[in-house]
Amino acid sequence: MTGVVELERQLRERVSAGEKLLAPFVTAGYPDLATTAAILRAIDDLGLGCIEIGIPFSDPVADGPTIQASYTEALERGLTVESLLRELGGLAGELKTPRVAMVSYSIAYRRGVDRFVSALADAGFVGLLLPDLPEGCEPRAAELAESAGLANVLLVAPTTDPHRREQIAAAATGFVYYVSVAGITGERDRLPAEMPGNVLALRRAGRGKPVFVGFGIGRPEQVAEVTAVADGAIVGSAVVRRIAGCIERGLDPSATSDNVRQFVQSLCSGLRQAGDSADAAAKK
């Protein structure tokens, strides 16, 4: 079964069963590929919805200072797309958690989008997210992704025109990524009041397609707040900040991966809070 079908099938089944899902973000090659591999192994049994893996780019779009710094360090240490695909490809038969690549369209374009998406699929990815995809290129990108068996995850921002939001929700495969706040990634003290209504509208437009919310989420209580309405929460900067703290302490890949696992487990407690709240509401 192709990734484009399998990712959405898995997520829909779990959402239909009442599950709330977490999708942590990890920068590939930060601080090195051995650590990335150790982290992916360490969190693989936590029942995550998927893992979003950022492919470093010299001019990232919408990424806040924490993720930008991780990209810069990974590239300065000599990370290449070829080396990360080779390393992560070696884990393809070992890991069971779906992996979605977040990558600049520039990287895909330079290598040939068709060849690049095929390389992602060969490396075990089941989804693709191009945050800077030029408007009007979505149909062709979706066609190429689907031909390689990849789900084509699309972003919707709070500032996106309502009609355009509906088009994106209908066209996305795998899940719809709703950006909770306008601006760059990073942890926030509070999430926007309009988020619940926008998430519900996207789910209707996507005909029940799972909706994950990202940007500004970094604590278990925020995960609970988001997944009280959305199907999943994406946590990026907070996870990368945790890795940065391990680097500062000089921890090795094994200790770093254990530390990240503990943090991701704490975020998963927010999913249980959301589930308990939903159960309580259903009994009223």
Could you tell me which CATH number the domain at 19-283 has? 3.20.20.70
Confidence class of residue 283 from pLDDT cuts 50, 70 and 90? very low
pLDDT bucket at 65, cuts 50 / 70 / 90: confident
Confidence of residue 190 (pLDDT cuts 50, 70, 90): low
Q: Which residue did the predictor score with more confidence, 139 or 162?
A: 162
For residue 124, the Cα-to-chain-centroid distance in whole angstroms is 15
Instruction: Kindly tell me the burial class for residue 283, based on how many C-beta atoms sit within 10 Å of its own C-beta (0-12, 13-18, 19 or more).
Output: exposed
pLDDT, tens digit, 9 for 90 and up, residues 11-53: 999 999 999 999 999 999 999 999 999 999 999 999 999 999 9
Quote the pLDDT of residue 104: 93
Q: How confident is the model at residue 174 (pLDDT cuts 50, 70, 90)?
A: very high
Q: What is the pLDDT of residues 66-87, one digit of tens each?
A: 999 999 999 999 999 999 999 9
| Closest CA relative to residue 5, chosen from 51, 13, 154 | 13
* Helix 81-89 / helix 33-42 crossing angle, nearest 10 deg: 40
* Confidence (pLDDT) at 6: 83
pLDDT at 135: 75
Q: What is the pLDDT of residues 73-126, one digit of tens each?
A: 999 999 999 999 999 999 988 999 999 999 999 999 999 989 999 999 999 999
pLDDT given at position 263: 98
- Report whether pLDDT(141) > 90: no
According to the model, what pLDDT value does residue 139 have? 77
Domain locations in the chain?
19-283
Query: Is 184 a residue whose pLDDT tops 90?
Result: no
Mean pLDDT for 144-156 is: 90
| Full-model pTM | 0.90
Distance CA 5, CA 147 (A): 11
Q: Which amino acids are annotated catalytic?
A: 52, 63
Taking CB atoms within 8 Å and a gap of at least 24, the contacts of 131-137 are 131/61, 131/62, 131/102, 131/104, 131/155, 132/61, 132/104, 132/105, 132/106, 133/105, 134/105, 137/105
Output helix, strand, coil percentages for the chain, rounded to the nearest 5. 50, 15, 35
24, 232 contact by CB (below 8 A): no
Q: Over the stretch 210-262, which tens digit does the pLDDT of each residue have?
A: 999 998 899 999 999 999 999 999 999 999 999 999 999 999 999 999 999 99
